[in-house]
Structure 1
Amino acid sequence: MNKYRKSAVAGMFYPDSCSDIKHYIAHFTKEMPELTLDVLPRSLIVPHAGYVYSGYTANLAFHYAASKRPDIERVVVLGPSHRVYVAGASIALFEAYHTPCGELEIDLTYSHALAKKFAFLDFLPSAHEEHSTEVQMPFIYHYFRHAKVVEIVYGDITHTELSQLIDDVLQDEKTLLVISTDLSHFYTQVQANKLDNLCINAISHLDLHALSHGCEACGITGVKAMIQSALNHNFQAHFLDYRTSFARTGDDSRVVGYTSFALG
């Protein structure tokens, strides 16, 4: 088995050149508004489309987290599988994670411990050719390059099961949890705004019931799990950004929605 988690979507969802990635992040950061909220983020909800579409929204969350949490020692990334069927969830048992800017050390000892603790966690190598988790890694390298990472790709699993895993991860205050999801897909801009606002309002109010009634998101199971854990830990959800692919393409006939939140 290869000891590295090789990049699977570099050059497609994000640049395969480190200098180009840095250029994107610098551009996104320059365009950021001044954030007035004051929360120590324990978790982020971020999108996972191509950087030209959702990179700004994701960068806003990572930049904010880094400004508030320079002490982060581990980043756990949780995203849905788009390519292969996964029974339960798969945790990456590689030694390191390749990004165009350098390697991130995988917290293999911690990952093995989680796999031993939760019966639904296995290691399916093909599940880790997954963009929902991979697109977060260049941001993590940029903002938390000395932190170790854990990659978990989930499939056929309940939000209650995932919430148990999240509760365990949140016991370590120097761990940042990243929940990856996009919102509605391929509606008109008007329709997408209506559907996505249901999701955004439900997350903002930690309303699990509302998340099950109208919210469309490819990572809905992870979002529900995070909201369940936020309720368990008395966190609040702080909205950061929302936009659709229309902002980039100018085509309002078939858009995809993106949002980001900081929870703590």
Structure 2
Amino acid sequence: MYSGGGGKACRVNRNPVAGLVLGLVFLGGGCGRGESPAGLPGTDAVVRPTPAARKVLVSRLAGSWYPGDAATLRRRLEEFFSRTEDQHLGKVRALVLPHAGYRYSGQTAAWGVRQVAGRKWKRVVILGPSHRFALPGRVSVPDATHYATPLGEIPLDRECIAALGKSAVVVCRPEVHRVEHSVQIELPLLQHALGEFALVPIVVGQLDLADIGRVADAIRPLVDEETLLIASSDFTHYGPNYGFVPFRDRIPERLEEFARNAFEAIRSMRPAALLEHVAGTGDTICGRYAVGILLALLDGGYQAHWVHFDTSGRITGDYRNSVSYLAVAFTRRENESGTRSGGRCGCPGMTGADCSVWPGAR
């Protein structure tokens, strides 16, 4: 059985809610089925020829989105993390992280990752939106065995990826993963803070609410206490470059208001609330479907924490075009007695693993 980075092999967890940690970007094994603030050009990854079953996807983000040599990259990451703090939120189970070049969103992403640093994670599941390919009603996993950054190779959890591939909503489109930055950009941060882990990268297509539920159903049995879940998303893309200019005055304040409103939808823990926010305001949140899957995986027993917010407008001093970056962490909610909520299964003070019934979140 494939253990990926020395961890245990993927086992189907019949009571999976007992330990979600978000950070979704789907990295897959073999296929069994048929610099700007928002993203820099020329991000096609290269699949390096390797012997036999090994297939390593080498990201081309190095040298443009972040430093291309290991020593410089480590120094940059150390600078980011030196300006963060552990907010002592408790046992964080999942994250929402931004995915622009490190000049723009690296500091905010580091704030998020800091909240899960120092713990041993067997695997990390990253859900990232597809920016270049249409994937209506589907998500994709890769055919690689490893992803590579200047900090080294990360093994993919091929057994978990194979299990996901049994779902009708999961496809294998290698070309999608070669060019998609929303998953790849998170990897050096995670390597620096977490050490060894196996990766499950998932690139998310264009979904409706029912699709979000089906994807969550496919992922849920594979999640356990040692799995970190990550949803990769930038938030409001403002300005003529993005075709979204709902206001022209008090831009910094209004961008934060948009982010606060989006966060309130996330804090409801309802995917529908986030989609309703986007539909009602036109808010240009590129990873809304990835975040929606994350919310569907988490139940009402979880709560969201605002960790860090920034904008490319503040960083560059130019708000004519600006992208918003938000880091969110998720922990189990405490009920009135001070014990952890058991979520929708209605077992106060019990974790999802203790409950005999788990209807699944929508």
What one-letter code is carried by the residue in structure 2 that aligns with 1:109? Answer: E
* Correspondence for 2:57: 5
Distance 2:219 2:308 in 1: 23
Q: Which residue of 2 aligns with 1:195?
A: 258
Which of 219-228 and 188-197 deviates more? 188-197
- The one of 61, 66, 71 aligned to 1:19: 71
User: Who is 1:219 aligned against?
Assistant: 287
> Which residue number in structure 2 is paired with residue 250 of structure 1?
317
Map Cα deviations across residues 160-205 of structure 1 (whole Å, 9 max, x no partner): 22322342343x1111111100001024434322222211222233
Q: What are the Cα deviations for residues 12-61 of structure 1, in whole angstroms up to 9, with x where unaligned?
A: 222221122211211111112452422x1221110001111111111111
Do 2:216 and 2:296's aligned partners in 1 also have CA atoms closer than 8 Å? yes
Q: Which residue of 1 aligns with 2:171?
A: 122
Tell me by how many angstroms 1:207 deviates: 4.5
Distance (whole Å) between structure 1 residues aligned to residue 174 and residue 77 of structure 2: 29
Corresponding residue for residue 160 of structure 1: 213
Given the alignment of the two structures, is residue 261 of structure 1 paired with residue 324 of structure 2, yes or no? Answer: no
* Pair 1:63 & 2:114 matched: yes
Rate the CA distance shift 1:250–1:76 in 2: closer, same or farther, 3 A: same
Corresponding position of 2:93: 42
- Corresponding residue SS for 2:115: helix
Aligned residues: 258
Contact 1:166 1:225 in 2 (8 A): no
Letter of the 1:226 counterpart: L
Task: Give the distance between the partners of 1:249 and 1:258, measured in 2 at CA.
Answer: 14
Q: Say if 1:74 and 1:176, in contact at 8 Å, map to a contact too.
A: yes
Amino acid corresponding to residue 114 of structure 1 in structure 2? L
Q: Which amino acid aligns with 2:255?
A: A
Contact kept, 8 Å, 1:86 with 1:127, in 2: the verdict is no
Shift of 1:260: 0.7
Shift of 1:246: 2.0
After TM superposition, list the pairs within 5 Å mapping 1:40-189 onto structure 2: 40-67=91-118, 70-87=119-136, 88-116=138-166, 118-128=167-177, 129-157=179-207, 158-170=211-223, 172-187=224-239, 188-189=251-252
Deviates more, 1:158-167 or 1:45-54: 158-167
For 2:106 and 2:263, locate their aligned partners in 1 and report how far apart those are by CA, in whole Å.
18
Q: 2: distance between equivalents of 1:235 and 1:76? A: 18
Give the TM-score normalised by structure 2.
Answer: 0.67
Q: Could you say which residue in structure 1 is the equivalent of 2:298?
A: 230
TM-superposed CA distance for 1:258, in Å, is 0.6
CA distance in structure 1 between the aligned counterparts of 2:86 and 2:165, rounded to whole angstroms: 40
Q: Secondary structure at the match of 2:131?
A: coil
Identical residues among aligned pairs (%): 31
TM-score by length of 1: 0.90
Structure 1 equivalent of residue 80 of structure 2 = 28
* Cα distance change on mapping 1:251 and 1:169 into 2, 3 Å: farther
Considering fraction of residues, name the structure with more helix: 1
Gap regions ≥5 residues in structure 1: none
CA RMSD after TM alignment: 1.8
Letter paired with 1:43: A
Q: Report the Cα distance in structure 1 between the residues aligned to 2:82 and 2:104, rounded to whole angstroms.
A: 16
How far apart are residue 66 of structure 1 and its match?
1.6
Contact 1:195 1:216 in 2 (8 A): no
Larger radius of gyration: 2
